[in-house]
Amino acid sequence: MSAFERFDHNGKAATPREISQRWRTFHRDVRQVSSTPFARVIGPLLGDDTLRRRLVERVRPPTPDVVPTPTVDVDIFPFNYVVSSPTSTVAHSEVTDHVEFVLLNSSDPAEFFEKCGVALTSTKEWLLVIQDNGDEYARLATAATLLTQRGGADVIYGDEVGDVATIPVLKSREVGPHTLLSYNVIGRPALLRREAVVREGGLRNEAGRAAEHDLYLRLFDAHARFRHVSVVLRGRSFEERHHADLAEDTRRVVAEALLRRGIRGHVAVTSRPSVVTWSPIPDSWPSIDIIIPTRDRVELLRQCIQSVEASSYPNYAITILNNGSVESETLQYFAQTTYRVIDCPGPFNYAAIINRGVAQCSADYVLTLNNDTIVRTVDWLEQMVGVASLDDVSVVGVTLLDQRGVHEHDGIVIAPYPQHLRRGVNYLVEDDYVLARRDVSAVTGAVQLISRALYAELAGMDERLAVVMNDVDLCLRSQASGRQVVFLPDVVVTHFAGSTRGRLDPIADRNFFVRRWDVFGELVDPYFPETLRLLGTTMKYHPVVPD
C-alpha cells in the first residue's frame, strides 16, 4: 500500500482558506529559524506571495558567488535537538516478564553471537540487544518505550545516540528496501520478536560485524513487520557503527541479499565502512530516450549534449524539445544537428512539453534532462537504468551540484513541504543516510528516469502543474502501486539552475499540489526522519509523540 494518499479524490481536500493559513504558518516558522531579525519583522508586512514581496526580491542585490555558510554548527545538528529520557506507560514488571536482554560488555562479535545464541533459547517473547552500562533502570525504560509500540510488529526500533557522538542517528518511519541494501537503517535499539528471529535461522556467524544488518535483510525479505519509534535512545557505540571490518562484512551480506532477491548485480565498499553501493546489472541494456526541453541559450544546450555524448551507455537517443526558440544561432543549431527536434510552441508549460516529447518516444525508458546540465559521471545511464530495471522501482534520480560545486539536490524530502535536501547546506552531517543509495519521496525532474510504460500508465505529468511540482507529483503518483523512488548519490550532474527560465515559482501550482496531497496536513515523508523539519536552510528537530 502506498504511503501517499491523494486528497483531491477522497473528499477531504483543504479549502483555499485553510491552504492560505498553512502557508502563513510555514513561512512564519521559516523566518523564526532562518531569517535575520529585520526579515522576521518585514516579512509579514510584505506578505509571502505578493507583488510587494516580488518587487523586493527583484531589486535585492545578487547573492555573492561563494559557498553558503550553514546557519547552525555541526555539533548541534539538527537545530533545537536535545536528548530526552525514555518514557512509557508499560510497567517495568511487564518488561521483565516479556523481554530477554542481551547485555553486551564489548564490541567483540564473538560475545555478541554467544549471548544472542543463549537468548534465543529463552521462552520470552522479545529480545533486546543493548550495551551493559550498569544502569538497570535506563535499560528497563528503553525496553518499555519500545514495547509500548509493539502492536503487530516483529521489529520495533528507535532513534539512537552513541556513547561518544553528540549528533543523533535519526531514522525514517518506513524501512526503505533499497536503503536497507545500502546500510543498516534499523541499528539499535531494536526490540526483536524472538519467534521471528528463530524462524529466519537466527544470526549467522559468517556475517561477522554485519550480522544484525544481515538479519534485518532476511527479516525484510520474509515480510516481517517493522515499526519505528521517534524517540532517541542509547544505541550503538561510535566504534560499532564505524569499525573497519564492517565494510567487507556488509558488502558480503548485501551481495547475498541481492542473490536471494534474484538480482544480478555488483556490490562495492565505500569510503564509509557502514555503507556499500550496489548496482543491478540487467541482462541487456534497454533503450533510453533522453528528452531535453529548451528555449534558446544554445550554448547551454550544446554543452549539455556534449556531456551526454561522452557517456559510455550503448543504447540511447536524444530528442530536443523546442519551446519557442527565436535566436538565429539556436535555430541554425536545430537545422544542423543530427538529433531529433520536436517543436513544442506556446506558453511555457513544463509538464505539457515533457508529455509531448514522451508521446513521440518509443524507447524502453525516458530520461528528462534540463538543458542547463552537464553530466559528470560517465556511466550515469548504466547506474540509473540498472536500478530502474528493478520491479519495485518507479523513478530514479541523482545528485545535482551547482556551478560552484555546492550540493543543490540530494533527493527531495517532505519536511513538511517538498524541498531539495542539500548535503553540506541544509543537511550538515556526512552520515550513512546522505551517503547511501536510498528510497526517497521524490527526485527533481531536472534528471529523472522512468520507464515509458509506467509514464503512460500514469498519464504522464499533470499539465495543471505547469511550472513547478509536476516532477514531485509524478513521483508521488508513481508510488501508488508499491514502487519506490530511488536516489543515487554517487551519480553526479552539474546544474546551472534557473539559467533558461529564471526562477519561476507560481503559487497557483503550489496550492494545487498542497490541496492534492494535503501538504502541511497528513502528508508525511515515509523515508525521512519525521522529527526533522526543513525550514529555509535550517534543519530543526521537532519531537514527535508516539501514537
Instruction: Tell me the fold of 92-279.
Output: Spore Coat Polysaccharide Biosynthesis Protein SpsA; Chain A (3.90.550)
Q: For position 68, what pLDDT does the model report? A: 47
In three-state secondary structure terms, 177 is helix
The domain segmentation of the chain, as residue ranges, is: 92-279, 284-528
Q: For position 394, what pLDDT does the model report? A: 98
Give me the average pLDDT of each 10-residue run along the chain (547 residues). Answer: 85 93 94 66 55 47 46 71 73 91 90 95 95 87 91 94 77 97 96 97 96 97 96 87 95 98 96 97 97 96 98 98 96 97 95 98 97 98 98 98 96 97 95 97 98 97 97 97 96 83 76 97 96 94 78
Q: For position 9, what pLDDT does the model report? A: 83
Q: For position 81, what pLDDT does the model report? A: 83
Q: Are 92-279 and 284-528 equal in CATH topology?
A: yes
- For the chain, give me the number of helices (H) and strands (E)? 19, 21
Q: For position 494, what pLDDT does the model report? A: 98
Give the number of other CB atoms < 10 A from CB of residue 95: 22
Q: How far apart are CA 467 and CA 513, in angstroms?
A: 12
Q: For position 56, what pLDDT does the model report? A: 45
Q: For position 164, what pLDDT does the model report? A: 54
Q: Which CATH code of 3.30.1280.10, 3.40.50.300, 3.90.550.10, 3.40.50.720 fits the domain covering 284-528? A: 3.90.550.10
- For the record, the C-alpha cell of 170 comes out as 535519526
What contacts 191, CB < 8 A, 6 or more positions away? 99, 126, 127, 128, 143, 146, 147, 150, 155, 156, 157
In three-state secondary structure terms, 254 is helix
| pLDDT, tens only, 93-129 | 889 999 999 999 888 899 999 999 999 999 999 999 9
Q: For position 49, what pLDDT does the model report? A: 57
What end-to-end distance do the CA atoms of the chain give, in Å?
20
Q: What angle do CA 140, 229, 32 make, to 5 degrees?
A: 120
Q: For position 62, what pLDDT does the model report? A: 45
